[in-house]
Amino acid sequence: MSTTKLRDTILECLFEAQSGSNELQQEALQTLASITRVSPQNRTLLAQTNGAIPALLTLCKSSSPIIQTLSLSTLFNLSLNPNLKQSLADMETINHLNSIILSPTSPPESTKLASSLVCSLAMLDKNKAKFGVAGTIPLLVRAVSYPRNPAAHYLLSSLAELVQFHGNCTLAVRAGAVPVLIRVVKSTDGEDLSGTSLAVLELLSRFDEGLNALKKTDQVVSSMVEVLKGRSMMSKEGAAEILVRLFEESEDCLVDALKLPEFLTVLADISVRGSARAREKAGLLLKKTTEANLDSYTSDGSHMLF
C-alpha cells in the first residue's frame, strides 16, 4: 500500500471510529490495529496524523469493551516504536491508564492492555518518573493485591519495569509492595506469578528502602528457602539473590537460615542441578555460611560444624 493510500485509509478509519455506528467503529479500529501491528512506519504515520492519539484516548473510554480493547491495542502498537514512547506518555494518557487499571468494572482484557502499555512506555527511562508522579506505583501495588486478578502478570511486569528507578522503588515500598509481593510468592496462584513477584522483590532489594523492608518481614528467610525447594528455576534464582543480599546486611538472617535443617541440603542440590545463575547464587550462599564468624545453630540448638 502506497503512503498516500495508507494516509487516506488512516484518515477514513479515524473518521469512522469517531462518528460511525458501533459496527463501523469496530471495523475501523480493527484496521488501525492491524496496520500498526507489525510496521514501525505505519505506527509513525498514524501517530503523526492530526488528532489521532486524542481520538484513540477518547475511544478508550467507550462503554463498549471491544471498542475500548481495540483502541488500547492500537495505542500499545504505537508504543512499540522507541521514537513514540516519550510523546505517548503524557499525563493525560497516564492518568487514563491508571483509571482503567484501578476500575473494578474494566474488562480484564482492557486491564491487561493498559498494564502492557504502561510497561512499554516505562521502558524509556525518561518516562519512569512520570508514572511515579502520576501515582501509578501505589495503584499497581493495590491492583496486584486483589486475589486472583486475571491481569496480575501484566501488572507485575509493569511494576518490575518501573521500580528500576530509585524514586519509584521508594514509592513502592511505602505503598506496601513488599508484604503484597511476599503474599503472591507464597500463594498457590502459579509459579509464573511467584517468579515475577520475586523479580520485583529482587529489584526492590537493590535499594536500602526495599532491603530494610525485606529484613523487617516476618519469616522472610524461611519463605525464600521454601521457594528454593520449589520447581521454578526463575523463582529459585530470585530467592537466592534476595538471600544473598539479606545475608550481606544481616547476620540474624543468616542465623535464621542455618536453623532450618534443610537449608544446606537445598543449596547443595541447586549448586549441582540449578541453572547457571542459580548455581552461582547457591555457591555464594554456601560460601557465606562457611565464612560466617557466628555461633550458628541447628533447629534443635546443637552447634553446627562446617
What pLDDT score was predicted for residue 74?
Answer: 98
147: burial class by Cβ within 10 Å (0-12, 13-18, 19+)? exposed
What pLDDT score was predicted for residue 291?
Answer: 81
What pLDDT score was predicted for residue 190?
Answer: 67
The DSSP code sequence of 92-118 is: HHHHHHHHHHH-TTS-HHHHHHHHHHH
What pLDDT score was predicted for residue 293?
Answer: 52
What pLDDT score was predicted for residue 102?
Answer: 92
pTM, two decimals, is: 0.89
List the beta bridge partners of residue 303. 297
Give residues with Cβ within 8 angstroms of 278, minimum separation 6: 233, 236, 237, 240, 270
What pLDDT score was predicted for residue 282?
Answer: 95
Average pLDDT for runs of 10 along the chain of length 306: 88 91 94 96 95 93 93 98 95 94 91 97 97 97 92 96 96 97 85 90 95 95 94 92 95 93 94 94 92 53 43
What pLDDT score was predicted for residue 24?
Answer: 94
115 close to 154: Cβ distance less than 8 angstroms:
yes
137 close to 101: Cβ distance less than 8 angstroms:
no
195 close to 232: Cβ distance less than 8 angstroms:
yes
What pLDDT score was predicted for residue 297?
Answer: 46
Residue 58's H or E segment, with its range, is helix 52-59
